[in-house]
Amino acid sequence: MNNFKKIFSIALITIVFFISGKLTAQKYEGLALTPPMGWNSWNKFACDIDETLIKEIADAIVESGMKDAGYIYVNLDDCWHGERDSLGFIHPDPERFPSGMKALADYIHSKGLKIGIYSCAGYKTCGGRPGSRGYEYQDALTYAKWGIDYLKYDWCNTEGLCAEGAYMTIRDAIRSAGRPMVLSICEWGDNQPWEWGKDVGHLWRTTGDITNCFDCFVDHGTWKSWGVTYILDMQEGLRQYAGPGHWNDPDMLEVGNGMSVNEDRAHFSMWCMLAAPLIAGNDIRNMSKETLEILTNKEAIAVDQDPLGIQGFKYSSEDSVEIWFKPLVNDEWAFCILNRNETDKEFVFDWQKEKVIDELFDKKLDTQNKTYRLRDLWKHEFVGTTDEPLKAVVPSHDVLMLRLVK
C-alpha cells in the first residue's frame, strides 16, 4: 500500500469510528424540549405501589383534566422490582404487578400517556431492590421491550463509582436498546450534574429529596429532606445550565400532600418560575378542588413550559419578600412576588424605576417604550399595566404571579 492509500484508509477508519461512536453514545434528543410533566409514585406512596394503583392513577390523570393540562408521564418510582432470573433479567414484583410491566405499559399507552420506571446506578436501589450496576445494557433492553418511555436513575449504593461515567453508561445502554427514553439523572446534585448532564440526560436533580413542608427540613440521621424554601435557595447559580432538552430538577411536587393551599400555590408558582419539571406527587384519585386547580393552572403551566426554556431568576430579596422574573417568548415576562414571612406583606413595584436585565440570556424588560398589561395568573384577570406602579398585599407563604403581556 502506498502512503496515500495508507493515510486515506486510516482517515476513513477514524471517520467511521467517530460517526458510529457519535451514533451510539448520544442521548435521545428532542424528548424534553420543555420541562417534562407527569406524576411519580414516590412522594405519596413510597414503596406501597402496585398495578391497580398505577392504573387508577392513569385513569385519574385523564379524567381530572391533568392530561389535558400537559401531565403525560406516569412514573413508577422505587420498589416495583421483583428478582432477577437465572439469566439476569429483572422482573417486577409478581404479587404487586401480576400482569407484568408490558401489560401495564400497554394500558398507560392506551390512555395516550407515557410510562416511566426507576432504577439505580448502584447494586441496590435506595429501597434495597436490585439496582442496575453490571446489568445496565440488559436492563435498558428489558425496559425497551416493556415499552418504557422515561427512566429515573438513582444514586444509592454507588461507592467508588464515577457519577458522570455511570450515567453515560446507562445513556449509552438506552441508546443501544433502541427505544427513546427520557433520562432523569438523580444523584442529588452531589457531583455537579449541571456541569456534565446536558449531553447525558434530560434533567438532573439539583438537591436531596423534597419533603412536604414549606419552610423546614427533616433530619433522617445520615441525610436530610428539604422543604420548599430550602430547595429554592439551593437553585442559586444554576440557571445558566438549563435550557430546552436539559433541565435543573429541584425534585417532584408536594402539591396536595399536606401544605396549606397558599403554600402549595407558592410552591407550584416557583417551580414554574424555575422551568422545573412538573412531576405531581400526590394521590390524584382523591384530590381537593384547590389541589386540582393549582396543578392544572394552564396560565402558570405556560410559564413553566415556555418554549424559550429560560429558567427564572431572583431579582431582589428584602425582608423575606422575593421578586422573581422569567423571560418568555415574544418579549413577554413572568413576574412573581414570593412572601416567605409568617405575616402578610404590602408591596409596591414601580415598573418605570426598576431596571430588569437578564445578563445571562441577554434580555431586558423595556417598560419605558412599551406598555405591558399585567395578567394575574391565579385570579385569571388583568390587574393593571406597567405604566402605573403595582401595589399589592401578598399573603403569608403565598405569591402574586403575573404575566407581562404585550
- Are residues 174 and 151 in contact, defined by beta-carbon separation less than 8 angstroms? yes
> Choosing from 154, 304, 306, 398, which is the catalytic residue?
154
Instruction: Give the amino acid at 283.
Output: D
- Are residues 76 and 110 in contact, defined by beta-carbon separation less than 8 angstroms? no
- Are residues 246 and 198 in contact, defined by beta-carbon separation less than 8 angstroms? yes
Nearer to ligand GLA, 164 or 249 (CB): 249
Segment interacting with ligand GLA (CB under 6 A) among 64-72, 124-132, 176-184, 301-309: 124-132
Q: Map the footprint of ligand GLA across residues 252-291, applying CB under 6 A.
A: none
> How many residues are there in the chain?
406
Candidates 49, 58, 66, 77; binder of ligand GLA (CB under 6 A) is 77
Nearer to ligand GLA, 127 or 395 (CB): 127
> Choosing from 77, 149, 172, 209, which is the catalytic residue?
209
Q: What nine digits make up the cell of 66?
A: 391533568
d(CA 87, CA 104): 23
Q: Is 172 a catalytic residue?
A: no
Query: Is 323 among the residues that bind ligand GLA (CB under 6 A)?
Result: no
Segment interacting with ligand GLA (CB under 6 A) among 92-100, 104-112, 125-133, 241-249: 125-133
Candidates 39, 42, 247, 271; binder of ligand GLA (CB under 6 A) is 42
d(CA 242, CA 220): 30
Segment interacting with ligand GLA (CB under 6 A) among 121-129, 288-296, 310-318, 342-350: 121-129
Q: Which long-range contacts (CB under 8 A, 24 or more apart) does 183-186 make?
A: 183/27, 183/151, 183/153, 184/36, 184/116, 184/150, 184/151, 184/152, 184/153, 184/249, 184/277, 185/153, 185/249, 186/152, 186/153, 186/154, 186/155, 186/249
Q: Is 154 a catalytic residue?
A: yes
Candidates 32, 70, 78, 358; binder of ligand GLA (CB under 6 A) is 78
To 10 degrees, what angle do helices 51-64 and 101-110 make?
Answer: 10
Candidates 100, 127, 147, 243; binder of ligand GLA (CB under 6 A) is 127
Nearer to ligand GLA, 232 or 302 (CB): 232
Q: Map the footprint of ligand GLA across residues 154-213, applying CB under 6 A.
A: 154, 186, 209
Instruction: Give the amino acid at 189.
Output: G
To 10 degrees, what angle do helices 3-24 and 163-177 make?
Answer: 90
Nearer to ligand GLA, 51 or 209 (CB): 209
Catalytic residue numbers read 154, 209
Which residues of this chain interact with ligand GLA, rule CB under 6 A?
42, 77-78, 125-127, 154, 186, 209
